[in-house]
Structure 1
Amino acid sequence: MKQSRVLWLLDRLEREPRADPLIDALRAGVRSLPLGRGRDLLHGRWLGHPVHPLMVQVPIGSWLSAAVLDLRPGRSREAGLLIGVGLAAAAPAALAGATDWAELHHQQQRVGLVHAVTNTAAVGLYSASLACRTKGRNGLGRAYGFLGLSAAALGGMLGGHLAYRQASGANHAEEVPHVVTEGWHRIGAVEEFPAGEPVRRSVDDVPLLVVRELGGTIHVLSERCSHLAGPLSEGTVADGCVQCPWHGSVFRLSDGWNVRGPATAPQPAFETRIADGHVEVRLRHQDGGQRARSGGDTDRGHAGNGVGTAHGQAG
């Protein structure tokens, strides 16, 4: 079976570097916006996944409903009202999308740039449609409306490619609980983990980030950043957190919580214990994890006094 022509074009777009200088300039501009804490709000960290796909439902739904009304005679006024609602909702949705886009890989940004262009065209066509309707030129307004819907549909297809083919906005650490087997896993002797330095280890082919604090506490997280699988073992450790070297997401070492975006999902965290001078880890929330936290673990004497940490013999 031959490859779909559409997929061939999209794959070629991903590899086309000619727009990269423009992408770099736009990315720098988006990153320099004085959004403050609003940046995490736009990323959707509070929601647990990107907020942009949720926000675009308003303009898409409004414009699609307007198209249905345009198929019936005498409903141009109501259709115009829906078009106006969609135009009003498009701006915040675009800002959220641009904030996410600025923290993607170049292959994703190339598709995202065309996605933005097509959606901008849709906004322009719907603006023209609304202007025609206010002047009583309803036939031309309907024509612009259907053209706008076509542009929005193309933009939606490109957005789906970004989300499902290129995994932008997906949780890149989601598979960890399904891959790591139950029970304790030995990852190395205590002396193999210098205090304050991130170290990379693995369990069941899943990379782990191991950080031993000066006081002996050992923290273990999934090593690939949930945002875009950046190597946290190459990141910066400070104030009980680790910062991803790729896009700056910050995770709390004690439990993997995403303190700052663009990551919208936390890192899978591991319980740790010291046994015979070696560090052993177990994925949190697996069978037995609750017993360890409630005091029923027979190895508690080796495990220390908190989930995800090991004390005492680590020093």
Structure 2
Amino acid sequence: MRNMMTKLERAARLDRLGDRLQHGVFSVLPNQRVRDFLHGVNLGHPLHPALVQLPIGAWVSTAILDLIPGQRRAATVLVAVGTASALPAAIAGANDWASLSREQRRVGLVHAMANAIGTTLYAGSVAARLSGRHGAGRMLGFLGLAAASGGAYLGGHLAYKQAAGVNQGVQELHLIEDGWHPIADIASLPDATLLTREVDDVSVVVYRDGDEVTVMLERCAHQSGPLGEGRVTRVDGRTCVVCPWHGSTFQLNGGEVVHGPAGTDQQVLPTRVVDGVLQTRLP
């Protein structure tokens, strides 16, 4: 299985289809607010993994009920609920997938195909059950669960092996020693200018806005883009930094994500000034 996953990550022949689908997703979902909602920006947490709980739960419960006599009606209701709820989960997943790296998109493409097959089988299961062919409906349901389980395995590989959808910057916190670390003389920091400094070899962004100073991890939470090379902008009256790679936008005063594709906030470090020296530490 490990070798199979490695070959899938390197399957460049998938890129032609993947690139077309990526452009298609951006064309169908051009509105930034809609894309932010689907990324989970308003939640501060990716939306797709939250949405998949409903179809997975409904389909697994359907399989259990199909093994218990006298549960046809309940099984039919659950398989219908699972199939209907798979659509919004798929839309959110496609939105996230379009902003991933090429290797991640290859695995994500097969993940989506497996889930599409599973959802189609479950739709056939719903139709069969409603027409009274419960035996065929159960068989299609079990086949759908097998396909969806394969898709779930690939989704786990995306998250745990390829780190798709996780906060890419948080692991750098483990490289910073406890205690306060000097950053710079506060008087030397220019106003309204992004600077890059290091804390225990971890790159951070320093931004001064009058008396307020922000120290933020420099690697973007989405795909490790260099925020120190980004641009500062105003969004709804808030001063923000925009990642130069994929456009994720974070509020400088607090690190809250304002625009995706990042679905989580950017980590900000506490600061203090001692004898004119700006210091920072772990949260």
Question: Residue 217 of structure 2 corresponds to which residue in structure 1?
Answer: 222
* Mapped partners of 1:126, 1:236: distance in 2: 47
Is 1:256 aligned to 2:261, yes or no?
no
Q: CA deviation at 1:233?
A: 1.1
* Mapped partners of 2:246, 2:145: distance in 1: 34
| Aligned equivalent of 2:207, options 211, 220, 235 | 211
Write out aligned runs for 1:145-160 (5 A).
145-160=141-156
One-letter identity of the residue aligned with 2:26: R
Write out aligned runs for 1:136-215 (5 A).
136-188=132-184, 196-212=192-208
Q: CA deviation at 1:284?
A: 6.2
Q: CA deviation at 1:103?
A: 1.4
Q: Which has the higher contact order (CA 8 A, sep 6+)?
A: 2
Write out aligned runs for 1:66-105 (5 A).
66-105=62-101
* Mapped partners of 1:92, 1:45: distance in 2: 16
Q: CA deviation at 1:57?
A: 1.2
One-letter identity of the residue aligned with 1:108: Q
* Mapped partners of 1:122, 1:249: distance in 2: 32
* Mapped partners of 1:135, 1:217: distance in 2: 67
CA contact (8 A) 1:182 1:282 kept: no
Q: CA deviation at 1:234?
A: 1.6
Write out aligned runs for 1:1-315 (5 A).
6-32=1-27, 33-188=29-184, 196-212=192-208, 218-239=213-234, 240-270=239-269, 271=271, 273=273, 275=275, 280-283=278-281, 285=283
CA contact (8 A) 1:103 1:247 kept: yes
Change (3 A) 1:281 1:264: farther
One-letter identity of the residue aligned with 1:225: C
Deviations 1:209-241 (A, max 9, x none): 12345x586432110111222111121122321
One-letter identity of the residue aligned with 2:146: S
CA contact (8 A) 2:46 2:264 kept: no
Q: CA deviation at 1:134?
A: 2.1
Q: CA deviation at 1:273?
A: 3.4
CA contact (8 A) 2:185 2:278 kept: no
Change (3 A) 1:36 1:232: closer
Change (3 A) 1:56 1:260: same
Identity across matched positions, percent: 49
Superposition RMSD in Å: 2.3
More displaced stretch, 105-114 vs 25-34: 25-34
More displaced stretch, 18-27 vs 116-125: 18-27
More displaced stretch, 195-204 vs 92-101: 195-204
* Mapped partners of 1:176, 1:192: distance in 2: 26
* Mapped partners of 1:112, 1:61: distance in 2: 21
One-letter identity of the residue aligned with 2:207: V
Q: How many residues in Structure 1 have an aligned counterpart in Structure 2?
A: 277
Deviations 1:132-181 (A, max 9, x none): 22222222221111110100110110111111111112122223444323
Deviations 1:82-103 (A, max 9, x none): 1100111011111111111111
Q: CA deviation at 1:193?
A: 5.7
Q: CA deviation at 1:70?
A: 1.5
One-letter identity of the residue aligned with 2:105: Q
- Structure 2 residue runs of 5 or longer lacking an equivalent are none
TM-score in terms of structure 1 length: 0.80
Question: Residue 302 of structure 1 corresponds to which residue in structure 2?
Answer: none
More displaced stretch, 76-85 vs 171-180: 171-180
Which secondary structure state, in structure 2, belongs to the residue aligned with residue 245 of structure 1?
coil
CA contact (8 A) 2:182 2:280 kept: no
Which secondary structure state, in structure 2, belongs to the residue aligned with residue 58 of structure 1?
helix
TM-score in terms of structure 2 length: 0.88
* Mapped partners of 1:237, 1:165: distance in 2: 33
